[in-house]
Structure 1
Amino acid sequence: MNHFKQLFVSFILLILTINTFAQTAENIISKEALKIGDTFVPPSAIQQMRGTGKPLDLQKLAGKVVILDFFDTYCGTCIQSMPKLQKLQDKLKDKVQIISVTWQDKATIDKFFAGNSYLKENKVNLPVIYADVYLKQRFPHQSVPHVVFLYKGKVKAITNYKSVTEENILELYKTELIELPLKDDFGKGDLMGKKMEETESVKYGVWIAGYQNGAPFESLKIKKDSLTNMIKTSFYNASISSAVKFIWAKISPADYVPRPERLVLKVKNLDQYQDVEAKGGVWSREHALSYERLDKISRPDSVQARLVLNDLHSFLGIRSYKVMKKIPCLILQPCPVQPTPKDTLAKGMVYENSAVLAVMTDLGGKFPPVLDRVNSKEKIQIASYETLAEFNAQLAAYGIEAVLGEEEMEVLVIEEIE
């Protein structure tokens, strides 16, 4: 089990790294970097593919809202957001031009779009600027998606993908003004207002604040300051529910995927606790939470995390705890072995055992949370599938069937105190 936990944690860290830091950028921001309000000078030439096939002239798009959506083929969030961007482009084509921008070469992008059935099904065909250097220098970033709003030759917003909404596009088009959360991958949260080494008045304490414009999202970090020897514990721009989840992950790590179905909110206003993607950047400004704590005493991470949790409980008037609760789930259970054609299995992905299969199936999100009742140590090879019946047809070769049901599973409860 310990080996599985290590494998699971390593895999989650890999996924987070791919999604959050899908594109590595230089640590030093280029001199050509633009800020909000600056004049944007289009490149003299671009390498373009897809879209209508007509050459893009960024200079002639000054009458439209231009949205640069920086992406790469490793970024799952980028791919998931593309159908939404295509729908906005189709609906508002007279007012907006959405352009995908990547540093990757044409061969890589050709292969990516040719092999992605999800994007084909959703008829994604936005123009793509590939092998880009110029735009990346003007809008440096470390993570994708990274979004820039341009209008009438000016930089109007440098923000996150959630801010690309019909409401925001129309507001900018009509008023020439828009205020969106700043995405600055080189920014840094600082709730104290000045560095610890610049004052002797700050000895220790707790600071809780809302959204920090320009500071990237950061989960719980516990770090010793080399100059003051103080222990700084912090997180920035997180929803209450995500903050509670990553704090609990330090207190008692789980060996399962923390799916939304395993979060129970006993609160009056759900929007206040969970990031509402449909509201774009507006939600972050209203509800995101940032936190800093300074301590003289160094403690184990699990103990320090418990103190952070107690701070949130006290200041927010909530409590959180883990319990077993009956919820809808997909149960992997034994069944009679039924042979499966070898040519089908030869095309599949190999899972080390049923526990790894359960985790990977959980991450796929096609079914409710997965409960492994097989506990098989046998390697399992499964090809791609779309339905539960197709999944079961392959599982049968290993004496496993997946059935929908309700079972007790661990959930995290966040509850407001009356």
Structure 2
Amino acid sequence: MKHLKYNFLLFIAFFIAQTLWAQKKEAVDFSKSLKIGDRFVPPNGISVFRGNMVKFDWNTLKDKVIILDFFSTACSTCIDDMPKLQKLQDKYKDRLQIFNVAFQDKATLEKFYTENTFLKEKKVNLPVIHNDGELKKMFPHWAEPHAVIIYKGIVQAITFSRLLTEENILKLLRDGRIELPYKNDYNQGDLGVHSSKGQGVSHLIGVWLSGYQNGVRTVDLKYVRDSITGLYKSSFYNRSIYIALRNVWSKFEMPTYIPRDERVVWKVKDSTRFHNFKEDKDKWNVENAISYERLDKVMRSDSLQARVILQDLHSLLSIRSYKTMMKRTCLILKSCPVKPYAGQPLKNPLNYENSSVLGTIIDIGMQFPPVIDQVNRNEKITVGDFSNLAELNQQLAVYGIKAEIGEGEIEVLVIEEVQ
């Protein structure tokens, strides 16, 4: 049950993060910003500590790959990445120089490194550029981690920290250049064709479907009115076909269950083109992700617009998707005789409003097959940690409920290629 709660917290944290992402965006002066391929002219007055580096000369690094790893002490992903970067630095110290770059002052950072046992245990001691203002003007962003790779005085990549790998560093040293997905926190994407006519701007009314948009962050389906043109724009960027379809379906038919893999039926030649089942996210996205825009003169309700968009995707991708009921192996919540609890005191107990909520949380944990709630119990249910079905049932019996693995009918999304 412990990992179930962890997954639930991640599930909630994802939506909080999306909200914070939207709120954090602010106006930025791009007059000093550099792009990939631009020459990097180092700013003056850079302050460094740690890594046995009190001061340095950029000229001594001209033949090395320079990595600027922008971070903040509040960024857990940044901190988790530091040991990996330290290993790279240690292994290629003659050909590579990594800097952690922070806007925070030296005193704050010194306190952070002194108190962080994780970084101490991993022996992280990379040089840190503190009180940074100039480098962030050159490489503006509003989400850390943010990585910049410089080689031979040229900006080679502005990308994601997960791409700071040994393979990519060696490729850059070998070829003298490298192409990596572009991390641009400010670009929302624009597939539509626009042309100036007379005093105004003429917008082509229509639909655009494209592949991966480099430099555009992943954005789920949005439907908004452009205050300047008065047109209604529907769009999403850099999504898998499966996630895009699922997102569209949810706009007019909100799911009452967790959309797990068991609830998808693939009637296609190659399902890996539709969804990334592996961990190589960046390579897969570049090759398979899609982006979509639609411009309309008329406003429709969100649900009706979603149906229009679904028709577009079906037509443009030569597919169809539909929902139906199918028999699947499930975890079925059934009624049973009430039995007093005689086990050990519950560890980390949580209260669930009813059996439906309990079933949803168990679904999120992915420990068992998809859940079917046949008891529809409307009373509060308290469940603590459990590691297997027997332990779960020992707690549920108090409420006259038994969880049993069997065959049941659940709703599935069918994705089918059309000849």
Q: Fold match, TM over 0.5?
A: yes
Instruction: Answer yes or no: is 1:28 the counterpart of 2:30.
Output: no
Please report how far the alpha carbon of residue 249 of structure 1 lies from its aligned counterpart in structure 2 after TM superposition. Answer: 0.7
Aligned CA distance change for structure 1 residues 111 and 362 (closer, same or farther; 3 Å)? farther
Cα distance in 2, alignment partners of residues 148 and 305 from structure 1 = 38
Alignment-derived partner of residue 181 in structure 1: 181
Aligned CA distance change for structure 1 residues 236 and 337 (closer, same or farther; 3 Å)? same
Please report how far the alpha carbon of residue 92 of structure 1 lies from its aligned counterpart in structure 2 after TM superposition. Answer: 8.7
Alignment-derived partner of residue 344 in structure 1: 346
SS in 2 for 1:344: coil
Letter in 2 for 1:229: G
Kindly indicate whether the alpha-carbon contact (under 8 Å) linking 2:69 and 2:145 is maintained by their aligned counterparts in 1.
no
Kindly indicate whether the alpha-carbon contact (under 8 Å) linking 2:332 and 2:406 is maintained by their aligned counterparts in 1.
yes
SS in 2 for 1:360: helix
Alignment-derived partner of residue 168 in structure 2: 168
Cα distance in 2, alignment partners of residues 407 and 109 from structure 1 = 53
Moved more, 270-279 or 383-392: 383-392
Kindly indicate whether the alpha-carbon contact (under 8 Å) linking 1:331 and 1:373 is maintained by their aligned counterparts in 2.
yes
Alignment-derived partner of residue 8 in structure 1: none
Alignment-derived partner of residue 156 in structure 1: 156
Kindly indicate whether the alpha-carbon contact (under 8 Å) linking 2:86 and 2:125 is maintained by their aligned counterparts in 1.
no
Please report how far the alpha carbon of residue 25 of structure 1 lies from its aligned counterpart in structure 2 after TM superposition. Answer: 3.8
Cα distance in 2, alignment partners of residues 275 and 112 from structure 1 = 35
Cα distance in 2, alignment partners of residues 33 and 174 from structure 1 = 28
Alignment-derived partner of residue 319 in structure 1: 320
- Equivalenced residue count is 393
SS in 1 for 2:323: strand
Aligned CA distance change for structure 1 residues 268 and 93 (closer, same or farther; 3 Å)? farther
Cα distance in 1, alignment partners of residues 242 and 131 from structure 2 = 37
Kindly indicate whether the alpha-carbon contact (under 8 Å) linking 2:350 and 2:382 is maintained by their aligned counterparts in 1.
yes
Give % identity: 39
Aligned CA distance change for structure 1 residues 199 and 416 (closer, same or farther; 3 Å)? farther
Aligned CA distance change for structure 1 residues 277 and 110 (closer, same or farther; 3 Å)? farther
Moved more, 199-208 or 88-97: 88-97
Alignment-derived partner of residue 194 in structure 2: 194
Kindly indicate whether the alpha-carbon contact (under 8 Å) linking 1:181 and 1:284 is maintained by their aligned counterparts in 2.
no
Alignment-derived partner of residue 377 in structure 2: 376
Instruction: Answer yes or no: is 1:210 the counterpart of 2:211.
Output: yes
Could you report, residue by residue, the CA deviation over 1:164-217 in whole angstroms, capped at 9, with x for unpaired residues? Answer: 555434322322311112121111211124378986543521111122222221
Letter in 1 for 2:417: E
Alignment-derived partner of residue 6 in structure 1: none
Letter in 2 for 1:339: Y
Matches within 5 A, 1:19-418: 21=20, 25-29=24-28, 33-36=33-36, 37-39=38-40, 41=42, 44-45=46-47, 63=64, 66=67, 68=69, 70=71, 78=77, 82=80, 94-95=91-92, 134=133, 139-143=139-143, 146-151=146-151, 155-160=155-160, 163-194=163-194, 201-275=202-276, 278-335=279-336, 336-339=338-341, 344-345=346-347, 347-418=348-419
Please report how far the alpha carbon of residue 247 of structure 1 lies from its aligned counterpart in structure 2 after TM superposition. Answer: 0.5
Please report how far the alpha carbon of residue 91 of structure 1 lies from its aligned counterpart in structure 2 after TM superposition. Answer: 8.0
Please report how far the alpha carbon of residue 126 of structure 1 lies from its aligned counterpart in structure 2 after TM superposition. Answer: 5.6
Could you report, residue by residue, the CA deviation over 1:95-114 in whole angstroms, capped at 9, with x for unpaired residues? Answer: 47878778896788999977
Cα distance in 1, alignment partners of residues 166 and 20 from structure 2 = 27
Alignment-derived partner of residue 18 in structure 1: 17
SS in 2 for 1:174: helix
Cα distance in 2, alignment partners of residues 207 and 21 from structure 1 = 29
Aligned CA distance change for structure 1 residues 67 and 136 (closer, same or farther; 3 Å)? closer
SS in 1 for 2:298: coil
Cα distance in 1, alignment partners of residues 70 and 358 from structure 2 = 34
Kindly indicate whether the alpha-carbon contact (under 8 Å) linking 1:98 and 1:126 is maintained by their aligned counterparts in 2.
no
Unaligned runs of 5+ in 1: 1-10
Please report how far the alpha carbon of residue 403 of structure 1 lies from its aligned counterpart in structure 2 after TM superposition. Answer: 3.9
Please report how far the alpha carbon of residue 382 of structure 1 lies from its aligned counterpart in structure 2 after TM superposition. Answer: 3.7
Kindly indicate whether the alpha-carbon contact (under 8 Å) linking 1:30 and 1:138 is maintained by their aligned counterparts in 2.
no
Q: TM-score, length-normalised on structure 1?
A: 0.74
Cα distance in 2, alignment partners of residues 183 and 334 from structure 1 = 52
Cα distance in 1, alignment partners of residues 98 and 386 from structure 2 = 32
Moved more, 229-238 or 55-64: 55-64
SS in 1 for 2:91: coil
Letter in 1 for 2:91: D
Aligned CA distance change for structure 1 residues 237 and 385 (closer, same or farther; 3 Å)? same
Letter in 1 for 2:378: K
Aligned CA distance change for structure 1 residues 383 and 98 (closer, same or farther; 3 Å)? farther
Cα distance in 1, alignment partners of residues 103 and 394 from structure 2 = 41
Cα distance in 2, alignment partners of residues 371 and 112 from structure 1 = 44
Please report how far the alpha carbon of residue 276 of structure 1 lies from its aligned counterpart in structure 2 after TM superposition. Answer: 5.6
Letter in 1 for 2:15: L
Could you report, residue by residue, the CA deviation over 1:38-95 in whole angstroms, capped at 9, with x for unpaired residues? Answer: 52759844677xxxx97798978874564737477687xx49x958x86787589514
The structure having more radius of gyration, on CA atoms, is 2
RMSD of Structure 2 on Structure 1 (CA): 4.3
Please report how far the alpha carbon of residue 242 of structure 1 lies from its aligned counterpart in structure 2 after TM superposition. Answer: 1.0
Aligned CA distance change for structure 1 residues 148 and 200 (closer, same or farther; 3 Å)? closer
Cα distance in 2, alignment partners of residues 21 and 193 from structure 1 = 31
Moved more, 384-393 or 204-213: 384-393
Cα distance in 1, alignment partners of residues 379 and 21 from structure 2 = 33
Unaligned runs of 5+ in 2: 1-9
SS in 2 for 1:256: coil
Moved more, 128-137 or 385-394: 128-137
Cα distance in 2, alignment partners of residues 375 and 99 from structure 1 = 56
Letter in 2 for 1:94: K
